[in-house]
Amino acid sequence: MSDSAPITLPALSREGTGECAEEGAAPGRGPRRRPALSPSRAGDFKQCPLLYRLRAIDRLPEQPTRAQLRGTVVHAVLERLYRLPAPSRVPAEARALIGPVWADLSAESAELAQLFQGAEDPEFTDWLESAGTLLDTYFTLEDPRRLEPAACEELVEAELESGLLLRGYVDRLDVAATGQIRVVDYKTGAAPRQIAEARAMFQMKFYALAVLLTRGVVPSQLRLMYLTDGEELTYHPDEAELWRFARTLEAIWEAIMKAGRTGDFRPSPSRLCDWCAHQALCPAFGGTPPPYPGWPEPVEQLTGEESLIDRAG
Q: How far apart are CA 217 and CA 181, in angstroms?
A: 8
- Residue 261: how many other CB atoms lie within 10 Å: 10
pLDDT at 46: 95
pLDDT at 113: 75
Question: If pLDDT is split at 50, 70 and 90, which confidence band does 203 have?
Answer: very high
Q: First CA to last CA across the chain, in angstroms?
A: 24
Q: How far apart are CA 265 and CA 255, in angstroms?
A: 10
Q: How far apart are CA 156 and CA 110, in angstroms?
A: 29
| pLDDT of residue 15 exceeding 70 | no
| Averaged pLDDT, 60-70 | 89
Question: If pLDDT is split at 50, 70 and 90, which confidence band does 10 have?
Answer: very low
Quote the percentage of the chain above a pLDDT of 90: 66
| pLDDT of residue 21 exceeding 50 | no
For the chain, domains (ranges, CATH) are 33-247+306-312 (3.90.320.10)
Q: Tell me the per-residue pLDDT of 40-55, one tens digit each, with 9 for 90 and over.
A: 999 999 999 999 999 9
pLDDT at 251: 97
| Averaged pLDDT, 124-146 | 96
As a whole number of Å, the CA-based R_g of the chain is 20
pLDDT at 310: 53
- Residue 102: how many other CB atoms lie within 10 Å: 24
| pLDDT of residue 9 exceeding 50 | no
DSSP string, 258-275: HHHHHT-------GGGGG
Q: How far apart are CA 302 and CA 259, in angstroms?
A: 14
Which of 82, 85, 75 has its CA nearest to residue 134?
Answer: 75
Q: How far apart are CA 171 and CA 71, in angstroms?
A: 12
More confident residue, 82 or 306: 82
Buried/exposed 167-202: b ≥16 CB within 10 Å, e otherwise: bbbbbbbbbbeeeebbbbbbbbbebeeeebeebbbb
Secondary structure class of 166 (helix, strand, coil): strand
Question: If pLDDT is split at 50, 70 and 90, which confidence band does 12 have?
Answer: very low
Q: Tell me the per-residue pLDDT of 284-295, one tens digit each, with 9 for 90 and over.
A: 999 999 999 998
All residues at 6 or more sequence positions from 240 whose CB lies less than 8 Å from its CB, including other chains = none
Are 286 and 267 in contact by the 8 Å Cβ rule? The answer is no
Q: How far apart are CA 197 and CA 278, in angstroms?
A: 23
Angle at 168 between CA 166 and CA 172, to 5 degrees: 130
| pLDDT of residue 33 exceeding 70 | no
Question: Which stretches does DSSP call E strand in the chain?
Answer: 22-25, 31-33, 36-37, 151-159, 165-175, 181-187, 221-226, 231-235
Which of 21, 7, 8 has its CA nearest to residue 156?
Answer: 21
pLDDT at 301: 53
pLDDT at 305: 57
Strands 221-226 and 181-187: parallel
Residue 238 Ramachandran class (φ > 0 left, ψ -120 to 50 alpha, else beta): beta
pLDDT at 16: 30
